[in-house]
Amino acid sequence: QLQLVESGGGLVQPGGSLRLSCAASGFTLEYYAIGWFRQAPGKEREGVSCISSSGGQRDYADSMKGRFTISRDNAKNTVYLQMNSLKPEDTAVYYCAATRTYCHSASRLWEYWGQGTQVTVSS
């Protein structure tokens, strides 16, 4: 099957950093655009970042610009989300998603989803 698996979440203090990983199985990730989304309790899922299949396009939500960086390592069939200067409001379950087309703004248009990884920012 086509699967995505997120990892790297955990508990971090405000101002700290985490790097999330999105690993693909059953398909070659380099041919897909990859997006990161997050959902906090009681809130709707929101887009965080997206990278095109070529890596030439990188999109970030305004609140993440300058703090988060998306990248891909095609040799490892993995996409990363480096998160710096983390704030309590970044606490959420983070999901990665894949599409064979391009970076969509609407989460419902993405074809494949991972199970999510919990990120908690607290002192």
pLDDT at 87: 97
The rounded distance, in Å, linking the Cα atoms of 91 and 18 is 12
pLDDT at 72: 93
pLDDT at 90: 97
What's the mean pLDDT when you consider all of the chain?
94
Report the relative pairing of strands 117-121 and 10-12 from DSSP bridges.
parallel
The rounded distance, in Å, linking the Cα atoms of 110 and 59 is 15
pLDDT at 1: 77
Percent of the chain with pLDDT over 90: 79
33 pLDDT band (50/70/90 cuts)? very high
Cα 96 to its chain centre, rounded Å, is 5
pLDDT at 29: 87
**Which residues share a beta bridge with 11?**
120
